[in-house]
Amino acid sequence: MSEIDDRLEPNAEAVGALLKTVLADLGVDDKLLECRALLAWEEVAGEHLAEQAQAIGVHRGRLQLAVSSAVWRTHLSFSKQQLLDRMNQRLGERVLKDLVFVSRRPADSSRRKTVERG
């Protein structure tokens, strides 16, 4: 590393710690973690699985997934703990305590097809 990088690194760590403290003081640190969980779902699940189970929200540590069918709901229930562990590992801490599978409304899937077609 260069001399400049050596001087900036401790400052970046201090800014990161300060930001974490400010977010906690504002009471938004949990919400930030929940948003990170929503964004991480597709990466952890993979593209194909994420198409069948879309992350729609996080409430009290429970990631809600809109599932395309009862068959997929059953399939996901068998992989639930593994997916939960992978999500928390990706997030770097235990943010999620459960995955909740809800039926995807027909309007949701038709809306997605319209958006994809452009």
CATH number at residue 53: 3.30.300.180
pLDDT at 33: 77
Instruction: Give tens-digit pLDDT for 18-44.
Output: 666 765 665 666 677 788 898 999 999
Tell me how far apart the alpha carbons of residues 72 and 65 are, in angstroms, rounded to a whole number: 11
Tokens standing for residue 38:
């929503």
Comparing CA positions, the residue from 31, 55, 30 lying closest to residue 41 is 55
- Length of the chain in residues, anyone? 118
How would residue 116 be classed by pLDDT, with cut points 50, 70 and 90? very low
Range of the domain at 63: 3-117
pLDDT at 55: 94
How many domains, the chain? 1
Region 104-111 average pLDDT: 56
pLDDT at 32: 73
The model's pTM is: 0.67
pLDDT at 114 over 50: no
